[in-house]
Amino acid sequence: MSILQLSLIALLLLSSIPSRAEESTAREARLLFAVVFKDLETLGWSEAFNACELPSTWTAFEKETRQWVRDALNSEASVELSAPYRNAEFQKLFDPTGEHATAFCVPEMAKKNEEDKYIYFQSSSDSYVHIRYFIVTPPIFDKIFRRAAFVVSHTLFAFQKTTSGIKKLPPIIVVFVAIYEKGPGGWRFKEIKEMGIS
């Protein structure tokens, strides 16, 4: 094997190793979401998770939502979860014990779950059924890891039986930025900034 080939292999191996900064960001994200998960009522989620109510990976940032978070931090200088962690760690961060494993789904599974609920609802005696989704973006931290923020989206779909058949009600969507601060005792909730409701 030539020196050039060995050099290329070494570069590939090095590029796959998370940097110290990336590891620090992932560590802070774990500590942050350990606090978030213990008190989901703060984020408006007062019930236990049902099947397929959470995505299996982080929801990608749009330009607008990233700016919402930076505005909430009052800073353009910020750091966020990077590639080694962003796609793989959401379920581990949000549910480290695996207690709610069935709540996490890929989009195809979530769609099938919605279809199955609808089929069951058609033949049931229930007059109303709802389907919930809870979406979270990766957290963004200020440069000294004393403030963190992320976007949360709640979506509620509902079906109702009427005299003319089953009616799909307009979805209710609430989007906000959740802001946390780090003090001597660790991360703690600070405030919510509502971005929109429909």
- Nearest residue to 135 (alpha-carbon basis) of 193, 194, 196, 55: 55
- Mean pLDDT value across residues 82-89: 54
**Contact in structure between 97 and 34 (CB atoms under 8 Å):** no
**Cα radius of gyration (the chain):** 20
What's the pLDDT at 11?
Answer: 38
Could you report the per-residue pLDDT of 124-180, keeping only the tens digit for each?
889 988 888 888 888 888 888 889 998 888 898 889 999 888 998 898 999 999 999
> Residue 9's pLDDT band (boundaries 50, 70, 90)?
very low
Could you report the per-residue pLDDT of 55-85, keeping only the tens digit for each?
888 777 677 777 888 888 876 666 665 544 5
Could you report the per-residue pLDDT of 90-99, keeping only the tens digit for each?
787 777 788 8
Q: Does pLDDT of 4 surpass 50?
A: no
SS3 helix, strand, coil % of the chain, rounded to 5?
40, 35, 30
Q: b/e per residue, 14-51, with b = 16+ CB within 10 A?
A: eeeeeeeebeebbebbeebbebbbeeeeebeeeeebeb
| CA pair distance 149, 142, nearest whole angstrom | 9
Could you report the per-residue pLDDT of 26-66, keeping only the tens digit for each?
788 888 888 887 777 888 776 778 888 888 887 776 777 77
